[in-house]
Amino acid sequence: MNRQQQGFTLIELMIVVAIIGILAAISIPIYQSNTLKTQINRVIGELGSYKSAFEIQVTNGRPVTNTELGYVPSDLTTGDVAANIGVANPDGSGHIEVTMGGNSDPTLDGLVIRFQRSVNGNWRCEIDRSAVSEWKDAYRPQGCAVL
């Protein structure tokens, strides 16, 4: 009597499941790290869009309020239109900043993203991670200083 193979053996199926498990164990942390970095970069991009309006206000000696900046709160931050994101000092320096929260990953709650303006008009991106307990250097966007 001739016996033909009808399917996979249990050992073959277990090996495939083990390989899938190893791939998942490697790829899930990478995916999560990329998701967090993407959220940070999105907030930096949104905040950076207010630098031009800030410059106009400071140059013309006008107040730097959310209304003047055209600020629209992001769903990734704790910001609202009532709390101003910008501060202009009499010497022309100042900053705009937001705090992550809202719909962002809970790991990033409390992360402060700031654009600091010097007296001569140069901007510097700063990230204050003091409120984030699980911060990893892999989250740091290029060109931003981590405090």
Q: How many CB atoms lie within 10 A of CB 127?
A: 21
To which residue do tokens 């399917």 refer? 7
Q: Per the domain annotation, does 127 fall within a domain?
A: yes
To which residue do tokens 């998942």 refer? 24
Q: Per the domain annotation, does 113 fall within a domain?
A: yes
pLDDT in tens, 29-86: 777 778 888 888 898 888 888 888 888 888 888 888 888 888 888 888 887 778 888 8
- 44 is in which domain, residue-wise? 10-146
pLDDT in tens, 99-125: 888 888 888 888 899 999 998 889 999
Q: How many domains in the chain?
A: 1
Smallest Cα–Cα separation from 132: which of 23, 11, 36, 12? 36
Q: Per the domain annotation, does 131 fall within a domain?
A: yes
Please check whether residue 74 is in contact with residue 108, taking contact to mean a CB–CB distance below 8 angstroms.
no
Tell me, what CATH number does 52's domain have? 3.30.700.10
Region 128-144 average pLDDT:
84
Q: Per the domain annotation, does 5 fall within a domain?
A: no
pTM (2 d.p.): 0.76
Q: Per the domain annotation, does 83 fall within a domain?
A: yes
